A = this chain, B = another copy of it.
Amino acid sequence: MTDETELPGQVALLWGLRETVRRGRKPSLTVADIARAAVEVADAEGLAAVSMAKVAARLGNSTMALYRYVKSKDELLLLMSDEAMAERPDLPDGLDWRTALTLWTQGLLAGLRRHPWTAQIPISGPPVGPNNLWWFDRALRALGDTGLDEGDKVGVVMGLITFLHGRLRLGIELSAGYAENPEAFGGQYGRALTRVADAHRYPALNKVIAAGVFEGDVGYDEEADGAFGLGLYLDGVAAFIERRTVGPE
């Protein structure tokens, strides 16, 4: 029971733990090279443009050479989703939990904005890559001195991550769509809705439209919602911490 529980292959892959080899031709690539090249393609041309052939070409190898490093394209996608979070900002220690989590969120979102395609990669399991775990650890650390027990900390962080994944999809993906196709938004949006959503069946929606909320651009104001939705969640966390630390102990 000391050591050799076999690691799930994908975990080993993410951490670069390949058995040191003796015989045979030397590898000309590393798994990390491949992940980086794939991320570059996705950043430049979108996730749909990531093909084994294109990634291989960027590395100066043939398509099939990649399969010596990666079992399938799905494995490559897994690598990419860890590589996308590779940029780790400086997060100073010793801040109060709310400031720390706000900075953490901003840092994470900044990274995700650089790789908006992460939202399109299906999630196949809990986080196991080194970069994902680093972010997880830093969020837990921010809650270090709140007096919450470890299980509650995980709950709070999971909730926050949950929120951010939604933010990624709605905010970032939506603004990417906006950048590509502004005429679908703009004043047209509210006007199209009135044409189609009659007041009888959608009363609350029509009240919003009548109040002019959708006038002008609907480009999803990052700043506003970032402060808004996240702020509300953190308010809830604050209330939770108070409840927990006043009650027991």
Which of A19-27, A28-36, A152-160 sits within the interface?
A: A152-160
- The answer for the CA separation of A159 and B167 in the assembled complex, in Å, is 8
Which of A37-45, A55-63, A107-115, A136-144 sits within the interface?
A: A136-144
Q: Which of B120, B123, B134, B203 contacts A177 (CB 8 A)?
A: B123
- The answer for the CA separation of A167 and B211 in the assembled complex, in Å, is 30
Cβ of A119: which chain B residues have Cβ within 8 Å of it? 122, 169
A52 at the interface (CB under 8 A from B): no
CB distance from A126 to the nearest CB of B (A): 6
A133 at the interface (CB under 8 A from B): yes
Closest to A173 in B: B123
Query: Copies of this chain, how many?
Result: 2
A204-B126 in contact (CB<8A): no
A174 at the interface (CB under 8 A from B): yes
B177-A124 in contact (CB<8A): yes
A234 at the interface (CB under 8 A from B): yes
A75 at the interface (CB under 8 A from B): no
Cβ of A183: which chain B residues have Cβ within 8 Å of it? 8
A166-B174 in contact (CB<8A): no
A141-B204 in contact (CB<8A): yes
> Using an 8 Å CB-CB cutoff, how does the interface string of A164-200 with B read, 1 for contact, 0 for none?
1111111101100110010111001101110111000
B205-A140 in contact (CB<8A): yes
Q: Assuming A8-B192, A144-B204, is B153 touching A162 (CB within 8 A)?
A: no
Q: Assuming A15-B196, A144-B204, A232-B159, is B170 touching A165 (CB within 8 A)?
A: yes
- The answer for the CA separation of A225 and B161 in the assembled complex, in Å, is 12
Closest to A120 in B: B122
Cβ of A196: which chain B residues have Cβ within 8 Å of it? 7, 11, 15, 128, 130
- The answer for the CA separation of A234 and B163 in the assembled complex, in Å, is 13
Q: Which of B150, B184, B228 contacts A208 (CB 8 A)?
A: B150
Q: Chain A: residues with CB nearer than 8 A to chain B?
A: 5, 7-8, 11, 15, 119-120, 122-126, 128, 130, 133-134, 136-138, 140-141, 144, 149-151, 153-156, 158-159, 161-171, 173-174, 177-178, 181, 183-185, 188-189, 191-193, 195-197, 201-205, 207-208, 211, 213, 218, 224-225, 228-229, 231-237, 239-240
Please name 11 pairs of A and B residues whose Cβ atoms are closer than 8 Å in the assembled complex, sorted by A.
A8-B188, A133-B202, A140-B205, A140-B207, A150-B207, A153-B208, A159-B233, A163-B229, A231-B236, A232-B233, A239-B239
